[in-house]
């Protein structure tokens, strides 16, 4: 079997049983990146020390010690997570030369379990976007059709997976950034419950919404990866002490007794025919596996996009204030600009360092937080957020899982939505509520559109009930998609 097709679980087992070395695995994926990524642009940088790190894993295996759950598994890490000694840019000019002195907790945990960081993946600048077109390092192309976007903001992670440049990837999700690219690229991706995963060392976009999560080619792989880095972290007080179950060991595709809620308001939206067809098939599949479907009502979801764009931009305006050219980030050339005051230095440095979308959001958020507008915008949004959360919790009294599309339609063409900000923001219509309410959500591959683009199915569960998500995902994996297709570049 071709190593490119190996799942995380298969690689770890093969390395542990010495059927293959971690160095061979790493070498295989590094050469794929070298040969194929020119077309896709999914990596911002490759880890030059990956082979040396893989050698260390092989030495542990040879010594008879336990190399960890993820022995020798290459991981593509979104370039928003700090990696010690490895450039971390957030796909922004303002951090183009930033080399972190420490690893994000997610990365530290992955390494502790034997994983090898293979490179840092491209994203929308500071994770703000849905198409990967706002990256300062060029846009990413969808391996299923190079004229299409891979989604965003974790588009590099999703595209790298789809093109089999890495067997596993890490993304972050503030309003849909794991689930939407996973859907557009035909891979699995989970945004865990808020507080499941440490945000320490992840460059902050909107702190009350940000969560990191795994992306991979199977439910089991996602479950195993999440087990390796979920849990309480002493560096992030918002992490929960809730125990981390062995999700991967408890997967079941028998959904007897499970109630799947279909939110009426989601299905009233203008969903395209291919997407609707796949959701209908997913519904039939879960019913065949013993689940019962029920209609639920979430009338406040119509406010999710406006609330999200007030709260996320407000938090972003505060989080991004630190990039001033003095404490952090690119500093403008003072002589060239004849800079006289510190205010000028701030403003020119930030003007040069941030891209248009990031500036738009900083301005929006600063406005929403400013005195006189705070009550009308930011505070009002927070109040509606609480009501939305209450409405979701109420819906979960009559069901165990919510099922819906991830987006209104599959991937769109590069350049087709950059002019209409509103149209781009509407991409987040089904995904933002999950972050606003802190619930765990997942995108599971469901099938393909008539023109061959992948389409995912979104499932959402109660807080800390990732097991139910994984079980529904596992049932869909086994019983919904019948054909294994490969994208264009392979």
Contact present, 137 and 161 (Cβ < 8 Å): no
Q: At what angle do helices 50-63 and 22-40 cross, to 10 degrees?
A: 160
Exactly one of 129, 263, 329, 353 binds ligand GLN (CB under 6 A); that residue is: 129
Of 130, 177, 228, 449, which one is the catalytic site residue? Answer: 177
The secondary structure element, H or E, covering residue 32 is helix 22-40
Hey, is 292 helix, strand or coil? strand
C-alpha to C-alpha distance for 390 and 433, rounded to whole angstroms: 12
Q: How many CA atoms lie within 13 A of 256 on its CB side?
A: 1
Site string for ligand GLN, 309-348 (x = CB under 6 A): ---x------------------------------------
Q: Are 127 and 174 in contact (CB under 8 A)?
A: yes
Cβ atoms of 469 and 459 closer than 8 Å: yes
Q: Is residue 248 at the binding interface for ligand GLN, with CB under 6 A as the rule?
A: no
Among 37, 79, 103, 173, interactor with ligand GLN by CB under 6 A: 173
**Contacts for 408 with CB less than 8 Å, ≥ 6 apart:** 269, 270, 271, 272, 275, 426, 427, 429, 430
Q: Would you count residue 271 as binding ligand GLN (CB under 6 A)?
A: no
Is the Cβ of residue 6 or residue 148 nearer to ligand GLN in the bound state? 148
Is 78 one of the annotated active-site residues of the chain? yes
Distance CA 323, CA 332 (A): 12
Q: Which among 21, 92, 153, 449 is annotated as catalytic?
A: 153
Q: Which residue is nearest to ligand GLN (CB)?
A: 177
Q: Minimum CB separation from ligand GLN for residue 306, in Å?
A: 13
Q: Which of 67, 114, 176, 213 touches ligand GLN (CB under 6 A)?
A: 176
Note whether 128 binds ligand GLN by CB under 6 A.
yes
Q: In a 3-state reduction of DSSP, which class is residue 172?
A: strand
Q: How many residues bind ligand GLN (CB under 6 A)?
A: 13
Residue closest to 474 by CA, chosen among 277, 259, 190, 154: 190
Work out whether 183 is an interface residue with ligand GLN (CB under 6 A): no
Nearer to ligand GLN, 152 or 231 (CB): 152
Of the candidate residues 221, 428, 466, 477, the single one contacting ligand GLN (CB under 6 A): 428
**CA 349 – CA 273 distance, rounded (Å):** 47
The reply on whether position 121 binds ligand GLN by CB under 6 A is no
177 carries an active-site annotation:
yes
Helices and strands per DSSP (H, E), number in the chain: 16, 11
What is the contact mask toward ligand GLN in residues 378 to 417, using x (rule: CB under 6 A)?
----------------------------------------
| Nearest distance from C-beta of residue 312 to ligand GLN, angstroms | 6
79 contacts ligand GLN (rule: CB under 6 A): no
Residue with Cβ nearer ligand GLN (218 or 432) = 432
Q: Does 443 bind ligand GLN (CB under 6 A)?
A: no
Q: Which is nearer to ligand GLN, 79 or 400 (CB)?
A: 79
Give me the least distance between CB of 480 and ligand GLN, in Å please: 25
Question: Contact with ligand GLN (CB under 6 A): which of 177, 319, 391, 409?
Answer: 177
- C-alpha dihedral sign at 141, 476, 191, 272: positive
Question: Residue 459, class by beta-carbon neighbours within 10 Å (0-12 exposed, 13-18 middle, 19+ buried)?
Answer: buried
Q: Could you tell me the CA-to-CA distances from 212 to 100, 105, 176, 226 in Å, in that order? A: 18, 11, 11, 9
- Identify residues 204-243 at the interface with ligand GLN (CB under 6 A): 205
- Closer to ligand GLN at the Cβ: 69 or 312? 312
Q: How many other C-beta atoms lie within 10 A of the C-beta of residue 218? A: 21
Q: Give the residue, chosen from 21, 26, 109, 174, that forms a contact with ligand GLN under the rule CB under 6 A.
A: 174
Least distance between ligand GLN and beta carbon 469 (Å): 18
Q: Can you list the alpha helix ranges (DSSP code H) found in 354-487?
A: 356-369, 380-395, 421-425, 432-437, 466-479
Report the SS3 class of residue 233: strand
Shortest CB 129 distance to ligand GLN, Å: 5
Q: Residue 67 to residues 115, 246, 348: CA-CA distances in angstroms?
A: 9, 18, 49
Instruction: Give 176 or 214: the residue with its C-beta nearer to ligand GLN.
Output: 176
Decide: residue 435, CB within 10 A, 0-12 exposed, 13-18 middle, 19+ buried: buried
The interface region with ligand GLN, picked from 22-30, 175-183, 317-325, 329-337 by CB under 6 A, is 175-183
Report the residue number, 37 or 173, with the smaller CB distance to ligand GLN: 173
Q: Write down the least CB distance from residue 310 to ligand GLN, Å.
A: 12
Q: What is the CB neighbour count within 10 angstroms for residue 420?
A: 10
The residue (of 205 and 346) whose beta carbon lies closer to ligand GLN is 205
In the complex with ligand GLN, the residue whose CB is nearer, 181 or 454, is 181
Task: Report the residue from 127, 212, 233, 304 that binds ligand GLN according to the rule CB under 6 A.
Answer: 127
User: Which residues, including other chains, have CB under 8 Å from residue 363's CB and lie 6 or more apart?
Assistant: 317
**In this chain, which of 21, 135, 153, 198 binds ligand GLN, going by CB under 6 A?**
153
- Burial class, 392, CB count within 10 angstroms (exposed 0-12 / middle 13-18 / buried 19+): buried
Catalytic residue positions, numbered: 78, 153, 177
Residues lying near ligand GLN in the complex (CB under 6 A): 127-130, 153, 173-177, 205, 312, 428
């Amino acid at each position: 079997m071709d190593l490119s097709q190996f799942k995380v679980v298969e690689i770890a087992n093969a390395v542990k049983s010495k059927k293959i070395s971690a160095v061979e695995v790493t070498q295989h994926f590094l050469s794929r990146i070298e040969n194929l990524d020119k077309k896709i642009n999914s990596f911002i940088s490759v880890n030059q020390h990956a082979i040396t790190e893989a050698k260390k894993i092989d030495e542990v295996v040879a010594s008879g010690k336990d190399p960890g759950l993820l022995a020798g598994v290459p991981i593509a890490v979104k370039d928003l997570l700090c990696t010690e000694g490895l450039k971390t840019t957030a796909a922004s000019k303002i951090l183009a030369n930033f080399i972190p002195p420490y690893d994000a907790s997610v990365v530290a945990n992955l390494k502790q379990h034997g994983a090898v960081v293979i490179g840092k993946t491209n994203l929308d600048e500071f994770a703000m976007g849905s198409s990967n077109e706002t990256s300062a390092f060029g846009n990413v192309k969808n391996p299923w059709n190079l004229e299409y976007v891979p989604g965003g903001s974790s588009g590099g992670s999703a595209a790298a997976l789809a093109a089999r440049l890495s067997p596993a990837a890490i993304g972050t999700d503030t309003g849909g950034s794991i689930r939407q690219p996973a859907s557009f690229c035909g891979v699995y991706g989970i945004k865990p419950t808020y507080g499941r995963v440490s945000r320490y060392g992840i460059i902050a976009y909107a702190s009350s919404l940000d969560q990191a999560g795994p992306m991979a080619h199977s439910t089991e792989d996602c479950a195993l990866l999440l087990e390796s880095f979920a849990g309480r972290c002493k560096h992030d007080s918002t992490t929960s002490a809730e125990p981390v179950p062995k999700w991967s060991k408890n997967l079941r595709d028998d959904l007897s007794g499970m109630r799947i809620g279909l939110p009426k308001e989601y299905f009233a939206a203008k969903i395209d025919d291919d997407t609707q067809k796949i959701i209908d098939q997913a519904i039939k599949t879960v019913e065949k596996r013993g689940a019962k479907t029920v209609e639920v009502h979430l009338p406040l979801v119509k406010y999710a996009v406006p609330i999200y764009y007030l709260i996320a931009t407000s938090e972003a305006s505060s989080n991004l204030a630190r990039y001033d050219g003095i404490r952090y980030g690119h500093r403008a050339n003072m002589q060239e600009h004849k800079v006289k005051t510190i205010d000028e230095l701030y403003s020119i440095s930030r003007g040069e360092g941030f891209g248009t979308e990031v500036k738009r959001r900083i301005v929006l958020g600063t406005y929403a937080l400013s005195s006189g507008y705070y009550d009308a915008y930011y505070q009002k949004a927070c109040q509606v957020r609480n009501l939305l959360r209450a409405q979701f919790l109420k819906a979960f009294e009559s069901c165990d899982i919510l099922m819906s599309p991830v987006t209104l339609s599959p991937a769109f063409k590069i350049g087709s939505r950059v002019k209409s900000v509103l149209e781009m923001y509407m991409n987040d219509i089904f995904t933002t509520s999950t972050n606003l309410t802190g619930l765990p959500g997942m995108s599971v591959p469901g099938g393909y559109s008539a023109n061959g683009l992948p389409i995912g199915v979104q499932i959402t569960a109660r807080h800390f009930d990732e097991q139910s998500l994984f079980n529904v995902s596992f049932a869909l994996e086994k019983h919904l998609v019948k054909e294994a297709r490969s994208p264009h570049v392979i």
